[in-house]
Amino acid sequence: MGTVHAKSLDPLPMHGRDLGVHPDDMVELPEPEQESKQEILENKAVVVQHVNVQGLGRTKEDLLGYEISEVFHAKNLIDVMKKSHIARQKLLRLGIFKEVEVLIDTSEGSDALPNGLDVTFEVTEVKRLTGSYNTMVGNNEGSMVLGLKLPNVFGRAEKLTFQFSYGTKETSYGLSFFKPQPGNFERNLILNLYKVTGQFPWSSLKETDRGASAEFNFPLGMTNHTLKWEGVWRELGCLARSASFAVREESGHSLKSALSHTVSIDSRNSAIFPSRGALLRINQELAGYTGGDASFLKEDFELQLNKRLFWDSVLSASLWGGMLCPIGGQPSCIADRFYLGGPTSVRGFGMYSIGPQSEGDYLGGEAYWAGGLHLYTPLPFRPGKGGFGDLFRTHFFLNAGNLCNLNYGEGPRAHLQKMAECLRWSYGAGIVLRLGNIARLELNYCVPMGVQSGDRICDGVQFGAGIRFL
């Protein structure tokens, strides 16, 4: 009785020594049972009679039914193998199994059909408690991350995670609970409790946030959506004695309760080095209607287009923008405003050093836009092609943007005029290194232009590290 491992999608041989049958001799075979098994393998019409899962411990069987049910709908052997492979990928995606093996065999027993098949998934569950240690790259900062995870807490792919992060500018710890919908892993609920302490030297500001959040993620057609509520107690203070009076005025405690919605469409083939596809992300945040003393409406978007050209070169265009409108006559908080400038946005300028400032401290703005045009090419002479060299790209760029405060008593034309004034832009070239599929490093030679009074520039070599670049 033959047993087939369905990890590979290579078609099974229809004849040959593995089955002990040659096509020219099939008519002369005296054993009808052997012929019957051969027909099962060759016949396009098969029936999956039983699907078994072996190795379950704390996992509930009803959860797995959603992931493997499509196997019953297979109509031929190749279809069985493909659907079993897809089911295996779905089981691994749940994050509750260390290994998943698939066995396909002919059916046995009194109810066995001549063309019946049994599919068995042999699973190995992950440990009840796992730990992790890694480093994480943020927007021009690095951190060490320690984590403890309790996967599959209640047997239906839930996950409880504790994480501690210590970084160059930020220290945080938090507790999160993840709960997916059975049969629809992309639709899930996440609850968070956290404390974050950050330093923002460009504003001479330090901030401590203690908060809770709940978010619901779900796909809708081609789009992905996130609905989120966040309540956070913020404590702002001065990072240095030399902090400006404008920053000192912002010091103290505040409470923010906000509802937000994010929708995104992402057809890129890679988040770090895309060669084709587009990204559109739109975020809206409304604070003050569910409590707290911060009241505003905040909108921002991100657009990216990528096109492959000749010689493996890629042309990429990006556009960011946003606007914050205070509600109830209250001024906006320095912690809620937008910031612009640095190696991850408008290159050639210091980190977040564009826009309104007071005594050398940058205060952020209530409206901004930034655009970039990039050309990525392989390294000259293609050293390390097909290996380590493919992690690098040559980078030519042109960036522009502006950050300011608007008078909302004026009309849209005045707003557009204000956004077009005092335009900062830069151009340059450099080298880009991909770090896995999560981050990248840039080393660029930058030439800043359109510099305004108070802007801090980086004329020459500039290094950047992060996960989100203009």
Above 80 in pLDDT, residue 164? yes
> Do 311 and 442 fall within a single domain?
yes
Asked if residues 63 and 154 have their Cβ atoms less than 8 Å apart, the reply is no
> In the prediction, which pLDDT does 44 show?
65
Residue 234 and residue 120 share a domain:
no
Average pLDDT of the segment spanning 81-93 = 91
Is 199 found in the same domain as 113?
Answer: no
Q: Determine which of 186-200, 215-229, 284-298, 399-413 has the lowest per-residue pLDDT on average.
A: 399-413
The pLDDT of residue 29 is 42
Residue 146 falls inside a structural domain: no
Give residue 292's pLDDT: 87
User: Residue 326 above 70 pLDDT?
Assistant: yes
301-306: Cβ within 8 A, 24+ apart: 303/278, 303/279, 304/268, 304/274, 304/278, 304/279, 305/278, 306/268, 306/274, 306/275, 306/276, 306/277, 306/278
Average pLDDT over residues 396-403: 95
Question: What does the pLDDT read at residue 203?
Answer: 92
Tens of pLDDT, residues 198-242: 999 999 999 999 999 999 999 999 999 999 999 999 999 998 888
pLDDT of residue 16: 36
134 or 430, greater pLDDT: 430
- Model-level pTM greater than 0.85? no
Q: What range does the domain containing 426 cover? A: 181-466
Of the ranges 208-212, 245-249, 310-314, the best mean pLDDT one: 208-212
Domain endpoint, select from 79, 110, 125: 125
Residues 433 and 360 in one domain: yes
**Whether pLDDT at 15 is above 80:** no
For 409, residues 6+ apart whose C-beta sits below 8 A from its C-beta are none
- Strands 159-167 and 142-151, by their bridges, are antiparallel
96 within some domain: yes
CA distance 397 to 379: 16
Q: Given the structure tokens 């992309």, which residue do they identify?
A: 186
Q: Cα separation of 156 and 61, whole Å?
A: 9
To the nearest whole number, what is the mean pLDDT of the chain?
A: 86
Q: When comparing pLDDT for 8 and 125, which is higher?
A: 125
pLDDT (0 to 100) of residue 165: 92
Q: What total number of domains does the chain contain?
A: 2
| 61-68 vs 77-93: helix crossing angle, rounded to 10 | 130
Domain boundary among 78, 105, 125: 125
d(CA 315, CA 306): 6
CATH number for the domain harbouring residue 402: 2.40.160.50
Tokens representing 287 are 């604070």
